[in-house]
Amino acid sequence: MISRLLNPSSVAVVGAANDRGKLRGKLLALLIQAGFEGAVYPVNPGANEIQGLPAYPDLTAVPGPVDLVLIAVPGGQVPTVLDQAVQIGAGAAVIFSSGVPDISGYADRIRIMGPNTEGFYCPESRLAATFAQVVEHSLERDEAPPAAPRPLTIISQSGGLGFALYGRALAENLDVRSVITTGNEGDLECLDFVEHCVDQASPAVILLFIEGLKTPARLAEVAAKARAAGSSIVALKVGRSEAGQRAALSHTAHLAGADTAYDASFERAGVIRVHDLEESLAVAAALSRLPASPGQRVAIVTTSGGAGAWAADLCSAAGLEIPPLTEALQAEILPLIPSYGAAGNPVDVTAAAVEDGGKSLVQVVERLVASDEVDGVLVNMGLAAKGRVAALRPVLEPLLRASRKPIVFHSHILPSRENLTALAQAGSHGFSTLRAAALGLAALAKDGERLRRAPVVARSADRRPMIAAADGVLGEAETGNLLRAYDLPFPQSILAADADQCVAAAARIGGPVAMKIQSVDLPHKTEAGGVFLGVTAEDVRSTFERIIANARAYAPDARIEGVLVQQMARPGREVAVGMVRDPDFGPLVMLGAGGVYIEVLKDVVFAPAPIDRAEAMRLIMSLKTVPILKGVRGAPPGDLEALAELISRVGDLALCEAAIEQIDLNPVVVYPAGEGVMAVDALVSGKSSGAEPRH
Amino acid sequence: MISRLLNPSSVAVVGAANDRGKLRGKLLALLIQAGFEGAVYPVNPGANEIQGLPAYPDLTAVPGPVDLVLIAVPGGQVPTVLDQAVQIGAGAAVIFSSGVPDISGYADRIRIMGPNTEGFYCPESRLAATFAQVVEHSLERDEAPPAAPRPLTIISQSGGLGFALYGRALAENLDVRSVITTGNEGDLECLDFVEHCVDQASPAVILLFIEGLKTPARLAEVAAKARAAGSSIVALKVGRSEAGQRAALSHTAHLAGADTAYDASFERAGVIRVHDLEESLAVAAALSRLPASPGQRVAIVTTSGGAGAWAADLCSAAGLEIPPLTEALQAEILPLIPSYGAAGNPVDVTAAAVEDGGKSLVQVVERLVASDEVDGVLVNMGLAAKGRVAALRPVLEPLLRASRKPIVFHSHILPSRENLTALAQAGSHGFSTLRAAALGLAALAKDGERLRRAPVVARSADRRPMIAAADGVLGEAETGNLLRAYDLPFPQSILAADADQCVAAAARIGGPVAMKIQSVDLPHKTEAGGVFLGVTAEDVRSTFERIIANARAYAPDARIEGVLVQQMARPGREVAVGMVRDPDFGPLVMLGAGGVYIEVLKDVVFAPAPIDRAEAMRLIMSLKTVPILKGVRGAPPGDLEALAELISRVGDLALCEAAIEQIDLNPVVVYPAGEGVMAVDALVSGKSSGAEPRH
Average pLDDT over residues B354-374: 91
Q: How far apart (Å, rounded) are the C-alpha atoms in residues B650 and B611?
A: 8
Average pLDDT over residues B139-167: 93
In sequence order, what E strands does A432-558 have?
A: 493-496, 513-518, 531-535
Question: What's the pTM?
Answer: 0.92
pLDDT of residue A250: 63
Q: Which CATH number covers residue B309?
A: 3.40.50.261
In a domain, B478, yes or no: no
Does residue B98 sit at the A interface (CB-CB below 8 Å)? yes
Residue B148's Cβ-side half-sphere holds a number of Cα atoms within 13 Å equal to 29
CB contact under 8 A, B600 and A240: no
Residues of A within 8 A of B163 (CB-CB) are: 413
pLDDT tens for residues B645-671?
999 999 999 999 999 999 999 999 999
pLDDT of residue A314: 98
DSSP code of B131? -
pLDDT higher than threshold 50 for residue B103: yes
Residue B297's DSSP bridge partners are B321
Q: Are strands A604-608 and A586-593 parallel, antiparallel or unpaired?
A: antiparallel
Residues of A within 8 A of B350 (CB-CB) are: none
Count: domains in chain B: 5
> A15 Cβ partners below 8 Å, 6+ apart?
A24, A27, A43, A44, A71, A72, A73
CB contact under 8 A, A625 and B312: no
In a domain, B375, yes or no: yes
A541 and A606 housed in the same domain: no
Q: How far apart (Å, rounded) are the C-alpha atoms in residues A186 and A166?
A: 24
Residue in A239, A278, A434 closest to B435 by CB:
A278
Mean residue pLDDT across chain B = 92
In angstroms, what separates the C-alpha of A457 from chain B's closest C-alpha? 32
Q: How far apart (Å, rounded) are the C-alpha atoms in residues B280 and A124?
A: 38
Q: Which of B524, B501, B522 is nearest to B513 (CA)?
A: B501
Q: How far apart (Å, rounded) are the C-alpha atoms in residues B615 and B629?
A: 17
What is the number of residues in chain B?
A: 695
In a domain, B371, yes or no: yes
At B660, give phi and psi (nearest 5°). -85, 125
Residues of A within 8 A of B131 (CB-CB) are: none
Q: According to DSSP H, which parts of B94-241 are helical?
A: 133-140, 159-171, 190-199, 219-228
Lowest-confidence range among B290-299, B516-525, B608-617, B647-656? B516-525
In angstroms, what separates the C-alpha of B659 from chain A's closest C-alpha? 30
Does residue B314 sit at the A interface (CB-CB below 8 Å)? yes
Does residue A434 sit at the B interface (CB-CB below 8 Å)? yes
CA distances from A16 to A27, A54, A122, A123 (A): 7, 11, 20, 22
pLDDT tens for residues A507-517?
999 889 999 99
Residue in A134, A160, A412 closest to B304 by CB:
A160
pLDDT of residue A247: 80
In a domain, B148, yes or no: yes
- Cβ(A408)–Cβ(A437) below 8 Å: yes
Residue in B351, B414, B627 closest to A600 by CB:
B627
pLDDT higher than threshold 80 for residue B476: no
pLDDT higher than threshold 70 for residue B145: yes
Lowest-confidence range among A53-62, A503-512, A668-677, B256-265? B256-265
Share of chain B above pLDDT 90, in %: 78
pLDDT higher than threshold 80 for residue A690: no
pLDDT tens for residues B402-447?
999 999 999 999 999 999 999 999 999 999 999 999 999 999 999 9
pLDDT higher than threshold 80 for residue A664: yes
Residue A662's DSSP bridge partners are A580, A685
Residue in A346, A601, A624 closest to B247 by CB:
A346
Band (pLDDT 50/70/90 cuts) for residue B690 is very low
- Residues 230-289 in B contacting A (C-alpha not used; CB under 8 Å): 236, 238-248, 250-252, 275-278
Residues of B within 8 A of A246 (CB-CB) are: 312, 324, 344-346
- Greatest CA separation for chain A: 102
B241 and B305 housed in the same domain: no
| Domain end call among B567, B598, B631 | B567
What does the DSSP assignment read for A202-218? S--EEEEEES--SSGGG
Q: Which chain A residue has the Cα nearest residue B22? A: A355
Q: How far apart (Å, rounded) are the C-alpha atoms in residues A154 and A208?
A: 6
- Cβ(A599)–Cβ(A644) below 8 Å: no
A440 and A299 housed in the same domain: yes
More confident residue, B454 or A432: A432
The single-letter code of the amino acid at B503 is V
A306 and A447 housed in the same domain: yes
pLDDT higher than threshold 50 for residue A644: yes
pLDDT tens for residues B6-26?
999 999 999 999 999 889 999
pLDDT higher than threshold 90 for residue B155: yes
Q: Which of B356, B357, B417 is nearest to B392 (CA)?
A: B357
pLDDT tens for residues A10-42?
999 999 999 998 899 999 999 999 999 999 999
| Domain end call among A567, A596, A620 | A567
Q: Structural domain of residue A501, as residue ranges?
A: 492-567
pLDDT tens for residues A85-112?
999 999 999 999 988 999 989 989 999 9
A410 and A301 housed in the same domain: yes
Mean residue pLDDT across chain A = 92
In sequence order, what E strands does A2-98 have?
A: 10-14, 39-43, 49-50, 53-54, 68-71, 92-95
DSSP code of A61? G
| Domain end call among A238, A270, A289 | A289
pLDDT of residue A453: 87
Residue B473's Cβ-side half-sphere holds a number of Cα atoms within 13 Å equal to 19
pLDDT of residue A253: 41
CB contact under 8 A, A309 and B433: no
What does the DSSP assignment read for B207-235? EEEES--SSGGGHHHHHHHHHHTT-EEEE
pLDDT tens for residues A461-515?
567 888 888 888 888 778 989 999 999 999 988 989 999 999 999 999 988 999 9
In a domain, A480, yes or no: no
Average pLDDT over residues A382-391: 93
Query: How would you list the strands of the sheet with A531-535, edge to edge?
Result: A493-496, A562-567, A513-518, A531-535
A330 and A442 housed in the same domain: yes
What was the ipTM of the complex prediction?
Answer: 0.92
Residues of B within 8 A of A624 (CB-CB) are: 600-601
Q: Which chain A residue has the Cα nearest residue B435? A: A276
CB contact under 8 A, A250 and B342: yes
> A342 Cβ partners below 8 Å, 6+ apart?
A305, A348, B247, B250, B251
pLDDT higher than threshold 60 for residue B237: yes
- Cβ(A383)–Cβ(A389) below 8 Å: yes
CA distances from A638 to A582, A628, A657, A667, B652 (A): 30, 8, 29, 15, 43
Average pLDDT over residues B167-179: 95
In angstroms, what separates the C-alpha of A89 from chain B's closest C-alpha? 34
pLDDT tens for residues B577-601?
999 998 889 999 999 998 888 888 8
B300 and B448 housed in the same domain: yes
pLDDT of residue A140: 86
- Cβ(B77)–Cβ(B56) below 8 Å: no
Band (pLDDT 50/70/90 cuts) for residue B689 is very low
A115 and A56 housed in the same domain: yes
What is the number of residues in chain A?
A: 695
In a domain, A485, yes or no: no
CB contact under 8 A, B310 and A244: yes
Q: How far is CA A252 from the centre of its chain?
A: 20
In angstroms, what separates the C-alpha of A529 from chain B's closest C-alpha? 16
pLDDT tens for residues B535-579?
999 999 999 999 999 999 999 999 999 999 999 988 899 999 999
A112 and A171 housed in the same domain: no
How big, in percent rounded to 5, are the helix, strand and coil portions of chain A?
40, 20, 40
A215 and A285 housed in the same domain: yes
- Cβ(A322)–Cβ(B223) below 8 Å: no
In angstroms, what separates the C-alpha of A273 from chain B's closest C-alpha? 14
Neighbours of B637 (CB within 10 A): 12
pLDDT tens for residues B198-212?
998 799 999 999 999
pLDDT tens for residues A232-291?
999 999 988 888 887 876 654 444 358 889 999 999 999 999 999 999 999 999 999 999
- Cβ(B323)–Cβ(B373) below 8 Å: yes
Q: How far apart (Å, rounded) are the C-alpha atoms in residues B679 and B642?
A: 11
Q: Which of B560, B563, B559, B556 is nearest to B540 (CA)?
A: B563
In sequence order, what E strands does B357-462 have?
A: 376-380, 407-410, 430-431
What does the DSSP assignment read for B254-303? S----HHHHHHHHHHHTPEEE-SHHHHHHHHHHHHHSPPPSSSBEEEEES
pLDDT higher than threshold 90 for residue A460: no
In a domain, A463, yes or no: no
Q: Which chain A residue has the Cα nearest residue B209? A: A306
Q: How far apart (Å, rounded) are the C-alpha atoms in residues B595 and A203?
A: 51
Q: What is the Cα gyration radius of chain A?
A: 31
Average pLDDT over residues A427-445: 97
pLDDT higher than threshold 70 for residue B694: no
> B370 Cβ partners below 8 Å, 6+ apart?
none
pLDDT higher than threshold 80 for residue B687: no
Question: A233: helix, coil or strand?
Answer: strand
CB contact under 8 A, B313 and A599: no
DSSP code of B59? G
Residue in A156, A316, A382 closest to B241 by CB:
A316
In a domain, B516, yes or no: yes
More confident residue, B128 or A355: B128
Does residue B624 sit at the A interface (CB-CB below 8 Å)? yes
Lowest-confidence range among A519-523, A665-669, B530-534? A519-523
Residues of A within 8 A of B240 (CB-CB) are: 313, 316-317
- Residues 383-422 in A contacting B (C-alpha not used; CB under 8 Å): 384-385, 412-414
Q: Are strands A513-518 and A531-535 parallel, antiparallel or unpaired?
A: antiparallel
A345 and A387 housed in the same domain: yes
- Cβ(A118)–Cβ(A162) below 8 Å: yes
Residues of B within 8 A of A314 (CB-CB) are: 275-276
CB contact under 8 A, B243 and A348: no
B633 and B643 housed in the same domain: yes
